[in-house]
């Protein structure tokens, strides 16, 4: 992997270089830093056959892991957890030690936003040593909430819908301030649309997926487009890795 921007470029980036390139400051107490990570084809498709797997090569997987290793919590919408059959985050023992040394928990929990709580309590997600966090609304079916409380921390963040400002507040209260959201498009669009996103890490895969695929945002239209500032550009085997900041935020 090599760095193209900011110039002068650097070849043969190693893990330590990626850690430095994606390092995050600890946000002020009670606040969060929200980083989104997506992979998309050159035509913007964020899924092929309903999953993102076909889009990411070895470089994308390395950055995916790196961003998890730097995060306090991994936040996803229930659509992604279901489509991708989410499991617990995997952190190798040496990296767990490194996390502890910098004040992070050994492994980041997975947090899932779901209004319906249509999530199987027997799903792979709940095989984690670290309990997942489910962020839901008061309107979620009580029987599902009760079943899921056996295997996860269930937190109510809103009445009819899950309020994402409350979600971030609940995570910050638990000391989960460096939030990595892995989407999906519906959750991402709400976070970005509400001004809650600090940065976007985007892999552009060297392929066209063709028409009729989801992109990295879905749902209701925004009143206006949002500018982003490019922080860096890396490249590996034709895949591009962009890190964007939201101006005046991250
Ligand atoms: N390329 C990539 O990097 C990438 C990353 C992630 C996902 N994807 C792809 O994206 C697709 C999934 O898309 P998606 O848009 O359905 O995913 P999503 O954003 O993860 O999930 C949407 C679901 O999240 C819950 N949700 C989100 N916001 C909510 C709110 N404010 N209140 C209540 N519930 C809320 C709802 O779950 P309930 O239905 O349970 O209420 C909703 O149906 C999959 O094909 C996946 O492979 C691609």
Nearest of 71, 63, 65 to residue 104 by alpha carbon = 71
What per-residue confidence (pLDDT) applies to 56? 95
Q: Is the CB of 158 under 6 A from ligand 1?
A: no
Cα(236) to centroid(ligand 1), Å = 28
- 116 CA: nearest ligand 1 atom: 41
pLDDT band at 7 (very low <50, low <70, confident <90, very high): confident
Output the average pLDDT for the chain.
Answer: 96
By the 8 A CB rule, do 142 and 103 touch?
no
Mutate to test the pocket of ligand 1, among 36, 78, 148, 180 (most ligand atoms within 8 A of CB): 78
Mutate to test the pocket of ligand 1, among 50, 113, 152 (most ligand atoms within 8 A of CB): 113
CB burial string 59-93: b at 16+ within 10 A, e below: bbebbbbbbbbbbbbbbbbbbbbbbbebebbebee
pLDDT 10s digits, 66-123: 999 999 999 999 999 999 999 999 999 999 999 999 999 999 999 999 999 999 999 9
Beta strand 153-156 pairing with 133-136: parallel
Q: Is the CB of 85 under 6 A from ligand 1?
A: no
Cα(93) to centroid(ligand 1), Å = 31
Cα(91) to centroid(ligand 1), Å = 24
pLDDT band at 9 (very low <50, low <70, confident <90, very high): confident
Cα(78) to centroid(ligand 1), Å = 5
Cα(46) to centroid(ligand 1), Å = 12
pLDDT band at 21 (very low <50, low <70, confident <90, very high): very high
By the 8 A CB rule, do 165 and 217 touch?
no
By the 8 A CB rule, do 148 and 141 touch?
no
Mutate to test the pocket of ligand 1, among 117, 183, 220, 241 (most ligand atoms within 8 A of CB): 183
Topology of the domain covering 38-213+237-245: Dihydrofolate Reductase, subunit A (3.40.430)
Give mean pLDDT, residues 116-139: 96
Where are the domains positioned within the chain?
Answer: 38-213+237-245
Q: In what order do the strands lie in the sheet with 2-5?
A: 2-5, 229-236, 239-245, 199-205, 33-41, 178-181, 73-77, 110-113, 133-136, 153-156
pLDDT band at 224 (very low <50, low <70, confident <90, very high): very high
Atom 24 of ligand 1, residue of closest alpha carbon: 77
pLDDT band at 25 (very low <50, low <70, confident <90, very high): confident
Cα(80) to centroid(ligand 1), Å = 5
Nearest of 205, 198, 209, 190 to residue 241 by alpha carbon = 205
pTM value is 0.98
Q: Is residue 250 scored above 60 in pLDDT?
A: no
Strand segments, DSSP code E, in 52-157 are: 73-77, 110-113, 133-136, 153-156
Dist CA 149 CA 143 (whole Å): 10
Dist CA 157 CA 190 (whole Å): 15
By the 8 A CB rule, do 63 and 240 touch?
no
């Amino acid at each position: 992997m090599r760095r193209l921007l900011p110039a002068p470029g650097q070849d043969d980036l190693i893990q330590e270089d990626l850690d430095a390139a994606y390092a995050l400051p600890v946000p002020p107490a009670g606040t969060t830093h929200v980083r989104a990570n997506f992979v998309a084809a050159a035509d913007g498709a964020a899924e092929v056959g309903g999953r993102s797997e076909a889009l990411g090569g070895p470089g994308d997987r390395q950055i995916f892991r790196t961003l998890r290793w730097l995060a306090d919590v991994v936040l996803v919408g229930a659509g992604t957890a279901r489509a991708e059959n989410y499991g617990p985050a995997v952190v190798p023992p040496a990296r767990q030690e490194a996390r502890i040394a910098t004040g992070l928990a050994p492994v980041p929990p997975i947090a899932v936003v779901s209004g319906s709580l249509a999530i199987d309590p027997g799903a792979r997600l709940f095989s984690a040593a670290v309990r997942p966090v489910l962020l839901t609304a008061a309107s979620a079916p009580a029987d599902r909430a009760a079943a899921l409380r056996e295997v996860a921390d269930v937190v109510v963040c809103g009445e009819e819908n899950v309020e994402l400002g409350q979600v971030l507040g609940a995570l910050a209260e638990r000391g989960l301030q460096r939030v990595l959201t892995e989407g999906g498009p519906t959750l991402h669009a709400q976070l970005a649309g509400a001004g809650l996103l600090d940065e976007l890490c985007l892999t552009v895969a060297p392929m066209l997926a063709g028409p009729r695929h989801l992109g990295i945002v879905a749902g209701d239209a925004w009143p206006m487009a949002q500018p982003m500032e490019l922080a860096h550009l890396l490249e590996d085997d034709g895949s591009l890795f962009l890190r964007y900041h939201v101006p005046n935020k991250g």
